[in-house]
Amino acid sequence: MFKIFFVEKSSYISEYFESLDKSRFSVISFQSIEEALSNIEEYNPNLIVLVADKDEELLFSFCKKIREKHSLVLPILLVLDFYSSFSLEQFRNLGVDFMVKPFTQEEFKRKIESFFPKQTKEFLYERETEIIERLKPYIKQEVRFEMQNILKQILEVMEKKNV
């Protein structure tokens, strides 16, 4: 099951999580960034959803701490108001994704599901050789070995996260 950390003061977006498959996703809500940070190691989330209802510097600092202390690959989704004055470039540099309100429940569901693979690690094991073979004509030998190492690292991360 994929774990989503949801950090928000209001309950506007929490209704949107109702459209997600409960057997596939579990949502853990936090009212403050500090609370989410103190629980990140215990819960080991697969996605963090932040709502831009907090100070921009506080949100940026949170995203930076996640990248520095926890993971470069943990996806972060920042939900913004249409008229938000946030400086998005600094968030982009940290690999934060965005979604701008208003949006429908279906759009929200598709966005959340886009962060999670439908394929399992077994599928990737089976496809690893096929992926390399398809790319062979386009890459040098050294790069092939590096790609195999990267695929193995991805699989190891997936195993640790129990995908």
What is the torsional sign of CA 122, 128, 130, 135? positive
pTM exceeding 0.75? no
Residues in the chain with pLDDT < 50? 163
| Burial (0-12, 13-18, 19+ Cβ within 10 Å), 156 | exposed
Per-residue pLDDT tens for 108-147? 999 998 888 765 555 555 566 666 677 666 666 667 778 7
| pLDDT of the residue at 97 | 92
Among residues 115, 126, 125, 130, the alpha carbon closest in space to that of 154 is found at 125
| pLDDT of the residue at 76 | 92
